Structure 1
Amino acid sequence: MTNDRIPIGRFSLMTHLTCKALRLYDRKGLLVPEAKDRFTGYRHYTFPQIEKGIKIKTLCWLGFGLDEIATLLDAEEEGKKDIISDMMRNRALEVRSDILWLEKIEQVLLKPDSAMELLGMNVSEPQIKDIPELRVLSRREIGTYEDTISKHAGELFGFVGSQAFQRSNAKITGPVMFICHDKEYKEIGADIETALPFAGRVNVDDSAIKERTMPAVQVVSAIYKGPYDGVEVGYSRLFEYMTEHGLAIAGESRSLYINDPKEVPEEELLTEVQIPVKKTK
């Protein structure tokens, strides 16, 4: 072995990267050893590769995935500073979102008994309701729940506050709601529709906002009290009730936001969850 060849174990000590990680980076083509022994398969690195190893470790620490790290290293090599800046900025936005999420958790944990209250089923007794046909102003797109629903609600209420709506004889007849069009939960790329029931005539001149009629349905319904992040306990209670009473899903679920998060604390938020149902045979 020549003096500039570094065995994987020693290279691991120099870079503080585990041998398991180094083997993965080799398979991914991210950090390929300069030499491999044909007979033993032992990996040997060189001193110039130490800097690259440390860069990879630092980028991992910043939260980038391996594909993103490969893109960043290629961009650095090719002098594409705009790509690096965009990726760093996007990662900073993700970190800010994570910080806000962790701050919410911290606030709950610091309140006496509140963390344990979240573990309870803070949900009213489910009931069967007949929901009449609803005319709604609707906004639908692919996105994430936390960002998209609040954005949609702002756009819908912005339209309601417009002169065009105010001049019409239309009026709002119910709370803003979220309609789930997916068959499974998706953290990103969810098919999200936010709707606002209304009555009367109105000319919708915003291409993003549609007017449509939601059909009459029978639903099983319950009121969940607490932060929006915990609304799944409401749906869990509804599914339990459906199983107990021989009911099957007959349409897309709805979440109705009864009070305003700007006016009440998170623990006082009320969300009515509805699932259209039919009797199983």
Structure 2
Amino acid sequence: MPVEQIPIGRFSRIVHLTQKALRLYDRKGLLVPEAKDPITGYRNYTIRQLEAGVRVRTLASLGFSLEEMKAVIDGGGDDGMVERRLAAVRQEMMRLKHIEEVLSVRPALEELYTMSLSEPVVKEIPEIRVISKRGKVGSEDGNYEDICRRVIEELMAAVYSPENQRNGIRIVGPVMMLCYDEEYRETDADLELAVPVAGRVSVGEGMEVKVLPAVEVVSVLYTGPYYNLTSAYGKIQEYAAVAALTLRGPDRQLYYNNPQEVAPEELRTEVQYPILRAA
């Protein structure tokens, strides 16, 4: 091995990144070893890659996503990236502060399960014309809140593009997320973010204008932080079982306010689950 080459294990110790993380960064094109054994695939880095390794570790420790890290490494990071990350950190601090306040009163365990939930109702949802983006995402792309935020920002940028504004496009309903999976997935989750719109629309790559079909749903309105949304799904499941209704996907989450503008306990989310009635 040439003297300037550094085996992956030693490189891992120097830059304080696990070998698992280094393999991930290699696959994502963030930190690609300059030498690989053509037979074994064993990775070797070089001395001049040490600085890049330190930069990647620093960005990862600050919570930047893989996409954001790659933009910085490629020299395309924008000035707003730090501000957006800072806003996300402050939002997380608010969430943790709320948890601290709840736990500091030492409630009984059962009280922790009491959430602000409306009673389930069955209602008809008409067709909705939306601009949307669908894809498979996972933990490597960041947590789901970060993923949703990024995609919503992309959709809003399209809505407020000069061309669409000249065409008089209007937002006519809350932003929503549709989940097409039949089970919970940490990776490869099939999600779609959508913004209801009216007017002539032009969209960019990866987006589409479509009409969501009319559906009959069981609906629950939940007030509180997103991490407790499972309580809404549990209440819908209980209601459907008693009413002999079959739940079918994709379920929808409608977001009535902005997590960047209100405290986590004030977030309002409607969960809609399409149903089939027993014959």
Q: Deviations over 1:87-121 (max 9, x none)?
A: 66555555434995974664133325688565323
**d(CA) in 2 for partners of 1:225, 1:250:** 24
Partner of 2:85: none
**What is the aligned partner in structure 2 of residue 110 from structure 1?**
100
Equivalent pairs counted in the alignment come to 226
Question: Among 32, 41, 44, which residue is 1:78 paired with?
Answer: 44
Length-normalised TM-score, structure 2? 0.67
CA distance in 1, matches of 2:48, 2:211: 46
Correspondence for 2:122 among 128, 137, 159: 128
What is the root-mean-square deviation in Å for CA atoms of aligned residues?
3.7
**1:118/1:230 contact within 8 Å kept:** no
Q: How far apart, in 2, do the equivalents of 1:87 and 1:169 lie?
A: 47
Deviations 1:15-62 (A, max 9, x none): xxxxxxxxxxxxxxxxxxxxxxxxxxxxxxxxxxxxx9x979979xx6
1:212 to 202, 210, 213: 210
**Range that drifts further, 134-143 or 99-108:** 99-108
Shift of 1:166: 1.5
Q: Distance in 1 between matches of 2:55 and 2:182?
A: 33
- SS of 2:62's equivalent? helix
Q: Percent same amino acid at aligned positions?
A: 33
- Distance change (3 Å), C-alpha of 1:143 and 1:84: farther
Tell me the SS of whatever aligns to 1:78: strand
Q: What's the CA shift for 1:251? A: 2.6
What TM-score do you get using the length of structure 1 for normalisation? Answer: 0.66
Checking the alignment, whether the CA contact within 8 Å between 2:125 and 2:215 is kept in structure 1 is yes
Are the structure 2 counterparts of residues 171 and 83 from structure 1 closer, same or farther at C-alpha, using a change threshold of 3 Å? same
| Unpaired runs of at least 5, structure 1 | 1-51
Instruction: Tell me which of the two structures has the higher relative contact order, counting C-alpha pairs closer than 8 angstroms and 6 or more residues apart.
Output: 2
Correspondence 1:140 to 2:130: no
Structure 2 counterpart of 1:235, one-letter code: Y
Matches within 5 A, 1:36-185: 64=18, 78-81=44-47, 92-97=58-63, 100=89, 103=93, 106-112=96-102, 119-144=113-138, 145-185=144-184
Matched-pair contact (CA < 8 Å) for 1:255–1:274: yes
Offset at residue 82 of structure 1 (A): 6.8
Q: Distance in 1 between matches of 2:169 and 2:95?
A: 41
CA distance in 2, matches of 1:87, 1:248: 51
